[in-house]
Amino acid sequence: NAGVTQTPKFRVLKTGQSMTLLCAQDMNHEYMYWYRQDPGMGLRLIHYSVGEGTTAKGEVPDGYNVSRLKKQNFLLGLESAAPSQTSVYFCASRPQGGGYNEQFFGPGTRLTVL
């Protein structure tokens, strides 16, 4: 199993450009998440999904859109990139169920917006 994979690993954008980050998981997990990680701050949840075809806003959703057309994929889009979106982006997934189920993380995408 590859676990959670993210594409691309690095990207540099100019202000106003758009891009899509791809997250894929092969563990048949129901829940998927997109986080951003900034220096001196913990991870902040951007959007999440509780199943195929569903998405919901997290803590910092502005400037991002997501789609979950297939259970195994969760896409994060930036329509018009801004320097404030320079960050490391992590995708995570976890199985459905009560209590606490461990989140499994991808290796991250480092995005720089000039």
Binding site for another protein (CB under 8 A): 4, 31, 33, 37, 40-45, 48, 50, 56, 58-59, 90, 92, 99-100, 102-108
Give me the phi and psi of 107, to 5 degrees please.
-80, -10
**82 in Cβ contact with 64 (< 8 Å):** no
Q: Which is nearer to another protein, 31 or 64 (CB)?
A: 31
CA distance from start to end of the chain:
36
Comparing CB distances to another protein, the nearer of 75 and 91 is 91
Q: How far is the CB of 14 from another protein (least distance, A)?
A: 26
β-bridge partners, 19: 78
